[in-house]
Amino acid sequence: MAEENKEELAKATPVAKTVKAPAESNKEKPLTNKELKELKKKEKAEKRAASKQASGISIEKQQQQATAKREKKQQQREILAAKKNKAADPVRHDIKRSTLFGHLETTEERRASLLAVSSAITSTGASRITANGLFLPMLATTISSSTSQPSAGSQLSSNLSGSNTNLAGLAHAEDFEAHQMFNSLSLDDSSTFVPGTSSIIPNTITSQFTNQQTLASVKELVTNREMLHPAITSLTLDFALYKIIGSIPRCIAMLEAFQLVVRDYKTPEGTTLSRNLTSYLSHQIDFLKKSRPLSVTMGNAIRWLKQEISLIDPSTPDSKAKEELCDNIAQFARERVELADQLIIETASQHIEEGSTILTYGCSKVLTDLFLHNAINFGKKFQIVIVDSRPLFEGRKMAESLKNKGLNVLYVPITALGTVFNMDIKYVFLGAHSILSNGFLYSRVGTAQIAMLASRRNIPVLVCCESLKFSQRVQLDSVTSNELADPNDLVIIDSANPVQRRNNNGFLLQQFIKEREAQQKEVENNTKQNSKTSGAANSTSATDESKHVKDKPILADWEKSSNLHIFNIMYDLTPPDYIKKIITEFGSLPPSSVPVVLREYKASA
Tell me the pLDDT tens digit for each residue of 435-450. Answer: 999 999 999 999 999 9
User: CA-CA distance, 273 to 265, in Å (whole number)?
Assistant: 9
For residues 544-561, give the mean pLDDT: 64
The answer on 377 and 231 residing in a single domain is no
The answer on 400 and 356 residing in a single domain is yes
- Of 276, 307, 338, which one is at a domain's C-terminal end? 338
- Of 338, 365, 399, which one is at a domain's C-terminal end? 338
For the segment 211-237, what is each residue's pLDDT rounded down to a tens digit? Answer: 666 667 777 777 777 888 999 989 998
The answer on 307 and 435 residing in a single domain is no
Instruction: Assess if residue 78 is contained within a domain.
Output: no
The answer on 355 and 481 residing in a single domain is yes
User: CA-CA distance, 90 to 80, in Å (whole number)?
Assistant: 15
What per-residue confidence (pLDDT) applies to 446?
Answer: 93
CATH number at residue 589: 3.40.50.10470
Q: List residues bridging with 383 in a β-sheet.
A: 357, 408
Instruction: Assess if residue 366 is contained within a domain.
Output: yes
The answer on 290 and 226 residing in a single domain is yes
What per-residue confidence (pLDDT) applies to 327?
Answer: 95
Q: Say yes or no to pLDDT of 540 above 70.
A: no
User: CA-CA distance, 386 to 402, in Å (whole number)?
Assistant: 10
Helix axes 273-288 and 296-310, enclosed angle (nearest 10): 170
The answer on 362 and 268 residing in a single domain is no
- Of 290, 313, 338, which one is at a domain's C-terminal end? 338
> Residue 93 has what DSSP assignment?
S
The answer on 365 and 299 residing in a single domain is no
For the segment 291-300, what is each residue's pLDDT rounded down to a tens digit? Answer: 899 999 999 9
Q: Which of the two residues, 511 and 190, has the higher pLDDT score?
A: 511
Q: Which of the two residues, 10 and 525, has the higher pLDDT score?
A: 525
For residues 337-350, give the mean pLDDT: 94
User: CA-CA distance, 597 to 437, in Å (whole number)?
Assistant: 9
Which domain range does residue 426 map to? 351-489+570-601
What per-residue confidence (pLDDT) applies to 450?
Answer: 96
For the segment 244-261, what is each residue's pLDDT rounded down to a tens digit? Answer: 989 999 999 999 999 999
Going by pLDDT thresholds of 50, 70 and 90, the confidence category of residue 150 is: very low
Q: Say yes or no to pLDDT of 77 above 70.
A: yes
Q: Return the H-helix or E-strand segment holding 587.
A: strand 587-589
| C-alpha dihedral, 21 to 23 to 24 to 27, nearest 10° | 160
Lowest average pLDDT, out of 182-186, 497-501, 503-507, 552-556, goes to 182-186
Whole-number average pLDDT of the chain: 76
Residue pair 219/275 in contact by the 8 Å Cβ criterion? no
User: CA-CA distance, 384 to 407, in Å (whole number)?
Assistant: 8
Q: List residues bridging with 573 in a β-sheet.
A: 442
Amino acid at 356: S
The answer on 372 and 330 residing in a single domain is no
Instruction: Assess if residue 427 is contained within a domain.
Output: yes
Going by pLDDT thresholds of 50, 70 and 90, the confidence category of residue 508 is: low
What per-residue confidence (pLDDT) applies to 485?
Answer: 86
Percent of the chain whose pLDDT exceeds 70: 68
What per-residue confidence (pLDDT) applies to 140?
Answer: 38
Instruction: Assess if residue 520 is contained within a domain.
Output: no
The answer on 415 and 316 residing in a single domain is no
What per-residue confidence (pLDDT) applies to 399?
Answer: 94
How many other C-beta atoms can be found within 10 angstroms of the C-beta atom of residue 573? 21
Q: Which of the two residues, 323 and 563, has the higher pLDDT score?
A: 323
Instruction: Assess if residue 265 is contained within a domain.
Output: yes
User: CA-CA distance, 218 to 220, in Å (whole number)?
Assistant: 5
Q: Say yes or no to pLDDT of 141 above 50.
A: no
What per-residue confidence (pLDDT) applies to 164?
Answer: 40
What per-residue confidence (pLDDT) applies to 220?
Answer: 73
Instruction: Assess if residue 367 is contained within a domain.
Output: yes
What per-residue confidence (pLDDT) applies to 513?
Answer: 66
The answer on 415 and 268 residing in a single domain is no
Rg (CA), the chain: 37
How many other C-beta atoms can be found within 10 angstroms of the C-beta atom of residue 44? 10
Instruction: Assess if residue 526 is contained within a domain.
Output: no
Q: Say yes or no to pLDDT of 502 above 60.
A: no
Q: Say yes or no to pLDDT of 9 above 60.
A: no
**DSSP secondary structure, 503-535, as one string:** S-TTHHHHHHHHHHHHHHHHHHHHHHHHS---H
Q: Say yes or no to pLDDT of 524 above 50.
A: yes
For residues 332-359, give the mean pLDDT: 94
Going by pLDDT thresholds of 50, 70 and 90, the confidence category of residue 198 is: very low
How many other C-beta atoms can be found within 10 angstroms of the C-beta atom of residue 71? 10
Q: Say yes or no to pLDDT of 7 above 80.
A: no
- 439 by DSSP, 3-state: which? coil
User: CA-CA distance, 445 to 279, in Å (whole number)?
Assistant: 35
Going by pLDDT thresholds of 50, 70 and 90, the confidence category of residue 339 is: very high
What per-residue confidence (pLDDT) applies to 259?
Answer: 95
What per-residue confidence (pLDDT) applies to 41?
Answer: 82
Lowest average pLDDT, out of 135-139, 238-242, 253-257, 264-268, goes to 135-139
Residues in the chain: 605
For residues 566-586, give the mean pLDDT: 93
Going by pLDDT thresholds of 50, 70 and 90, the confidence category of residue 152 is: very low
Q: Which of the two residues, 144 and 39, has the higher pLDDT score?
A: 39
What per-residue confidence (pLDDT) applies to 561?
Answer: 78
For residues 458-470, give the mean pLDDT: 94
Helix axes 273-288 and 212-223, enclosed angle (nearest 10): 130
Backbone angles phi, psi at 510, to 5 degrees: -65, -45
What per-residue confidence (pLDDT) applies to 510?
Answer: 63
Q: Say yes or no to pLDDT of 197 above 60.
A: no
Q: Which of the two residues, 602 and 200, has the higher pLDDT score?
A: 602
What per-residue confidence (pLDDT) applies to 388?
Answer: 94
Instruction: Assess if residue 516 is contained within a domain.
Output: no
- Residue 151 CA, chain-centre distance (Å), reads 22
Lowest average pLDDT, out of 112-126, 272-286, 490-504, goes to 490-504
The answer on 438 and 312 residing in a single domain is no
Q: Say yes or no to pLDDT of 328 above 70.
A: yes
Residue pair 427/356 in contact by the 8 Å Cβ criterion? yes
CATH number at residue 313: 1.20.120.420
The answer on 328 and 358 residing in a single domain is no
User: CA-CA distance, 474 to 496, in Å (whole number)?
Assistant: 38
Q: Which of the two residues, 287 and 52, has the higher pLDDT score?
A: 287
Burial of 535 by CB count in 10 Å (0-12 exposed, 13-18 middle, 19+ buried)? exposed
Looking at the structure of the chain, the number of domains it has is 2
What per-residue confidence (pLDDT) applies to 105?
Answer: 77
What per-residue confidence (pLDDT) applies to 548?
Answer: 47
- Residue 100 CA, chain-centre distance (Å), reads 20
